[in-house]
């Protein structure tokens, strides 16, 4: 028994479909030993994957960036995700996909003949409630001490784990990480800043994981006539923002209404957030 986990749910492991409670990998799996692997999370609404193409393209990019070769085509991945969703019978849920470099004698360099370990599971998720959307999140700042390849969706998540715990210990919902005085991202989300009606986000580079919602919010902003600027954003600009918000697969888009103990702008979800939220809901409804 694992608290809050349905051990009877069916997962995919290296070509087999098994109960989560029965799925086993070797202690010599490099994902376990070195954190040598990557992952992605595809959200689904009413059993239908949302923005799957973007997620699978990112999965393939992550694999290529650490030279893991998997024998699965894009079509195979799609079938895997859709098949698992069907089997699960779940409505709003997420498909977690993880690939590690496989099982080998413990040695840092890539093994010659290891077969990558491929694991997928489906878990339910609850869309952000009307109360959370209305109240917004609280956040505090912290230094970004992670490595310099944050664009890879690596399972080596210790920096993100410690960042999230920093928020928990501070009694807030999220952290905003700053590197050399400039905004990077949250513990597991991208961060958006609004000043004078302009939506801004840190540029796509190695200092952030480009969320699949990055392009989506950019599209939604364009459709709503909101100018968007991707550029380095200083901590002072974040302190003086009219609006702050975050985005991720499970949080969708949410306002941050309290930052470092002070209200952001009016302290209420702002106009730009409302426009992006309406666009997001419409995109989900159109699935
Ligand atoms: C570090 C980090 N940044 C950003 C994101 C947002 O990515 P997405 O919108 O694809 O969920 C995530 C999501 O897990 C993340 O872990």
Ligand 1 centroid to residue 112 C-alpha, Å:
31
CA gap 121, 93 in Å, rounded: 10
Ligand 1 midpoint to CA 132 (Å):
19
Q: Which CATH class for the 10-124 domain?
A: alpha beta
Structure confidence by residue, pLDDT tens digits, 254-273: 999 999 999 999 999 999 99
Tell me: the pLDDT tens digits for 230-259?
999 999 999 999 999 999 999 999 999 999
Say yes or no: CB of residue 244 within 6 Å of ligand 1: no
Tens of pLDDT, residues 117-164:
999 999 999 999 999 999 999 999 999 999 999 999 999 999 999 999
pLDDT tens profile 83-126? 999 999 999 999 999 999 999 999 999 999 999 999 999 999 99
Token pair for 77 = 């991945």
Same fold, 10-124 and 130-285: no
H or E segment to which residue 183 belongs: strand 182-183
Distance (Å, rounded) from C-alpha 252 to C-alpha 247?
5
Query: How far apart are alpha carbons 18 and 206 in whole angstroms?
Result: 36
Per the structure block, which two tokens stand in for 258? 């309290």
| Annotation: CATH topology of 130-285 | D-amino Acid Aminotransferase; Chain A, domain 2 (3.20.10)
DSSP-derived letter for residue 21 is G
69, 105, 153, 195: which is the annotated catalytic residue?
153
Nearest-atom number in ligand 1 for the CA of 249 is: 11
- For residue 23, report the distance from its CA to the centre of ligand 1, in Å: 26
Please answer whether residues 207 and 150 qualify as being in contact, where contact means their C-beta atoms are separated by less than 8 angstroms: yes
Segments making up each domain of the chain, as ranges:
10-124, 130-285
What CA–CA distance (Å, rounded) separates 233 from 159?
21
Q: What is the pLDDT of residue 64?
A: 98
Tokens describing residue 32? 């376990």
Residue 1 has pLDDT above 90, yes or no: no
């Amino acid at each position: 028994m694992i608290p809050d986990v349905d051990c009877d749910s069916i997962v995919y492991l290296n070509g087999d479909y098994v109960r989560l409670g029965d799925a086993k990998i070797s202690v010599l799996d490099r994902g376990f030993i070195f954190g040598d692997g990557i992952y992605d999370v595809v959200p689904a609404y009413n059993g239908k994957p949302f923005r799957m193409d973007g997620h699978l393209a990112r999965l393939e990019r992550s694999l290529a960036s650490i030279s893991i070769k998997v024998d699965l085509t894009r079509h195979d991945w799609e079938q895997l995700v859709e098949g698992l969703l069907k089997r699960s019978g779940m409505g709003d849920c997420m498909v977690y996909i993880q690939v590690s470099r496989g099982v080998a004698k413990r040695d840092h360099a890539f093994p010659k003949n290891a077969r990558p370990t491929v694991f997928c599971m489906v878990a339910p998720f609850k869309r952000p409630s009307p109360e959370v959307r209305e109240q917004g999140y609280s956040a505090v700042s912290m230094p970004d001490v992670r490595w310099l390849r944050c664009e890879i969706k690596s399972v080596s998540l210790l920096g993100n784990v410690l960042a999230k715990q920093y928020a928990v210990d501070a009694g807030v919902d999220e952290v905003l990480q700053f590197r050399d005085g400039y905004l990077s991202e949250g513990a597991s989300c991208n961060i958006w800043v609004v000043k004078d009606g302009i939506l801004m986000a840190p540029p796509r580079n190695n200092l952030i994981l480009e969320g699949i919602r990055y392009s989506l919010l950019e599209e939604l902003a364009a459709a709503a006539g909101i100018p968007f600027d991707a550029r380095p954003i200083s901590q002072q600009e974040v302190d003086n923002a009219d609006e702050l918000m975050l985005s991720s697969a499970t949080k969708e888009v949410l306002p941050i209404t309290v930052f470092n103990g002070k209200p952001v702008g009016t302290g209420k979800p702002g106009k730009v957030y409302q426009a992006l939220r309406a666009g997001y809901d419409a995109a989900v409804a159109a699935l």
